[in-house]
Amino acid sequence: MKCLSCQSEKVENFFVLKNAPLQSLITIKTYEEAIAIPKKDITLAFCNNCGFIFNSTFDTSIDYYTQGYEDQQGFSPTWLTYQTGITNRFIDKYGIRGKDIIEIGCGKGDYIQLICKLGNNRGIGIDPSYVSGRSETNPNVTFIKEFYSKKHGELPVDLIVCKHTMEHIYDPYNFVKNIRNWINKDKDIQVFIEVPTIVRILKINAFWDIYTEHCSYFSPGSLARLFRMNNFEILDTYLGYDDQYLYLEAKTSKNTTSQILPLEESVEELKGYVDGFVLKIKEELGKWNKLLLRMKEENEKVVIWGGGSKSVGFLTHFNDLKVISHVVDLNPHMQRNFIPSIGMQYVGPDFLREYKPDKVIIMNRIYKNEIGKMLSQMGLNPELICL
Ligand SMILES: [Zn+2]
């Protein structure tokens, strides 16, 4: 087995998650279809050479993204405010105004629209799961409903943005190498990457953030090493969104420097986090199991707030307990869909008016205030439990 980021053979498996649904964001309209979603083990492997972590039993034969893939996050005001802030800072830092921007893996197009609007830029979003009419229209932004490929290297570009995409790329080594080889060599091209950070997952045992669509798990160090290896100069790397997300800013460069940035941890340090995770994860799952069983004994009405992969990642471990009755999500395109392999139907917040839950488990603590406010506006005061 070879590392998919640095090609080293110094790779070892360290964690197996049994029977994870193969898809967690696919759009499903019936219970039967939801239950029929196949399951497969996720095997996390660690590279002792570069620190990259990946699912070594990932099934590359599945079409994960073109069969109705629902990942739009822009329905939450907290998310929008956050993204606007981070983007304005980025625009000011590098003078990203009137530029040509390509977003690889643009989803429904929210982000490329945002950065083009804020900096008066021209944009092209590339994504096989793009659906037209789901984001604002701007004559300066166009979309290509395809996977990023060599021919896209001909497109005009000053900046490549790639947000919440690299964690879905099975072979990041070739992905970054290709970007580097395909783009125009005559000028410096900047890149702006956003991915979840594995360091937080390992440190707080965030098992709900491990699911099939995420086959690649980066740390500040492993992501920087990957880009540096492919002749990018790393300009900055930092964390955001309650330290959940990792940012990397880089540019193409003929002479890459070997200067290590403060946030980049060493491979040894990361190995320490991996060992800690292996030691603590069973205990963490046991704690949740006990807590949920107690809620069941007390006949409490328990719902999850926050659909999508995190809820599937969480329920993969505990759905059999039959404690959680509903999953709430703000995205109207998810409501009434059935949750892959779990079988529950997503509901909108309004459902809770009648249902009156005793407990709400919040999949992302950053939304606690927003959710608390919505609940109290509905006259509800359930206990909020944050992951
Ligand atoms: Zn490696």
Between the CA of 215 and the centroid of ligand 1 the distance, in Å, is: 14
CATH number at residue 332: 3.40.50.720
The pLDDT value recorded for residue 129 is 87
Between the CA of 5 and the centroid of ligand 1 the distance, in Å, is: 5
Query: What is the extent of the structural domain holding 309?
Result: 292-386
The pLDDT value recorded for residue 72 is 63
> Do 226 and 129 sit in the same domain of this protein?
yes
Between the CA of 7 and the centroid of ligand 1 the distance, in Å, is: 6
Between the CA of 260 and the centroid of ligand 1 the distance, in Å, is: 17
User: DSSP H helical segments within 230-266, as ranges?
Assistant: none
Between strands 324-328 and 39-47, the pairing is unpaired
| pLDDT top residue among 137 and 84 | 84
CATH number at residue 166: 3.40.50.150
Tokens at 303, concatenated = 């719902």
Considering the entire predicted model, what is its pTM? 0.92
Nearest residue to 261 via CA among 216, 225, 217, 314: 225
Between the CA of 87 and the centroid of ligand 1 the distance, in Å, is: 30
Examine the fold and report which residue of 269, 284, 308 is the final residue of a domain before the chain moves on.
Answer: 269
Nearest residue to 331 via CA among 113, 69, 5, 32: 69
Overall average pLDDT of the 24-49 stretch: 93
Between the CA of 220 and the centroid of ligand 1 the distance, in Å, is: 14
Between the CA of 366 and the centroid of ligand 1 the distance, in Å, is: 32
Between strands 232-240 and 359-362, the pairing is unpaired
The residue assigned the tokens 């991915």 is: 195
Neighbours of 14 (CB within 10 A): 15
Between the CA of 190 and the centroid of ligand 1 the distance, in Å, is: 24
Between the CA of 6 and the centroid of ligand 1 the distance, in Å, is: 4
The pLDDT value recorded for residue 133 is 79
> Do 51 and 180 sit in the same domain of this protein?
no
Between the CA of 3 and the centroid of ligand 1 the distance, in Å, is: 5
Overall average pLDDT of the 160-165 stretch: 96
Q: Indicate the DSSP class of residue 156.
A: -
Between the CA of 263 and the centroid of ligand 1 the distance, in Å, is: 18
Q: Is 361 helix (H, G, I), strand (E, B) or coil?
A: strand
Work out the percent of the chain whose per-residue pLDDT is above 90. 83
Tokens at 332, concatenated = 């109207």
- Give the list of residues 6+ apart from residue 98 with CB closer than 8 angstroms, or none: 119, 120, 121, 122
**CA–CA dist 126, 104 (Å, integer):** 5
Between the CA of 50 and the centroid of ligand 1 the distance, in Å, is: 4
Judge whether 250 lies within some domain.
Answer: yes
